[in-house]
Amino acid sequence: MSVPIERSRARLRAAVAGWKAAGARVGVVPTMGALHAGHISLVEAARAACDRVVVTLFINPRQFNNPADLESYPRTEVSDAAKLAPLGVDLLYVPDPDQIYPEGFATNVSVGGISDGLCGAHRPGHFDGVATVVTKLLLQTGAERAFFGEKDYQQLLIVRRLVRDLDIPCTITGCPTVREPDGLALSSRNARLDATARAIAPALNCAMLGAAAALAQGAAAAPALAAARQDIRAAGFDEVEYLELRDAATLAPVETADRPARLLAAAWVGGVRLIDNIAVPPDT
């Protein structure tokens, strides 16, 4: 059993058009490959909700603000295809670069406001790259449903916003973050953690859970977050890039969790940048 791989936009469109003509609901799961159980959970959600499932694999150069990060990003197409084979994926779209960025490509999709803080403040251009490629992948696949992880919470909200603003006829579904048993959120970049950094890494989620519990009880954000930052540093992280409490829907800063809120963080350990986020109060 293997998954058909398509590299051409025209042939992808022809395949999807055939499915739609037969009345199928088509779902898409955009990825950059190096698939892990987090990605697989999105594929399973798509499989459960749709008749046909397209997974895309495109390492999008425009969303890497750091050339070394792009250079070292894992490229594992063969094993990715093997992981998808038993899941009933109908097509793996691995576009040739010119299928996404043809000669002379000059358009940028930029989602205002919600892209500005958090990762947007620390990774210049990142979310424009994400918004542009997601717009293209949704239009190229023509999927009616698309599945994204809450792991990248700011990205999920940006995608919801651009789909609304640009009238793209696609429903966005957010799926819960899949974690290691010790709480570390699965990420393709976790493979870069050495043994020491891997042992320290779960401290990020652990400190966030502690802060979220206090915030859910009505604690003020500033002292609760200062204490959590200190715990993360004391555990061995090199830097806490940000740790912030935001409104869960708008990402506006909030002082207390007196409405559905989200605690979001990025921190560096052993040369690897990890991100995480959790609901406040916690999801039941």
Listed ranges 20-28, 93-101, 175-183, 244-252: which one lies at the site for ligand AMP (CB under 6 A): 175-183
Kindly state the smallest distance separating residue 181's Cβ from ligand AMP, in Å: 13
CA 7 distance to own-chain centroid = 23
- Cβ atoms within 10 Å of 258's Cβ, excluding its own: 9
Cβ proximity to ligand AMP, 145 vs 151, nearer residue? 151
Query: CB-wise, 132 or 188, nearer to ligand AMP?
Result: 188
275: β partners: 266
Q: What secondary structure does DSSP assign to 136-148, as a single string? A: HHHHHH--SEEEE
How many whole angstroms separate alpha carbon 87 and alpha carbon 39? Answer: 12
Is 185 near ligand AMP (CB under 6 A)? yes
175 binds ligand AMP (CB under 6 A): yes
**Stretches 70-78, 182-190, 224-232, 257-265: which one binds ligand AMP (CB under 6 A)?**
182-190
Among 149, 170, 184, 221, binds ligand AMP (CB under 6 A): 149
Give me the residue label for tokens 């500005």.
Answer: 116
Q: Does 145 bind ligand AMP (CB under 6 A)?
A: no
The Cα 167–Cα 174 span in angstroms is 19
Stretch that binds ligand AMP, among 9-17, 100-108, 179-187, 220-228 (CB under 6 A): 179-187
Q: Apex CA 34: angle with CA 189 and CA 63, to 5°?
A: 65
Q: Does residue number 141 form part of the binding site for ligand AMP (CB under 6 A)?
A: no
The string of DSSP codes covering 70-105 is HHHS---HHHHHHHHGGGT--EEE---HHHHS-TT-
Q: Which of 9, 39, 47, 62 binds ligand AMP (CB under 6 A)?
A: 39
- Residues within the interface to ligand AMP (CB under 6 A): 31-32, 38-39, 41-42, 148-149, 151-152, 175, 177-178, 185-188
Query: Which residues are tagged catalytic?
Result: 39
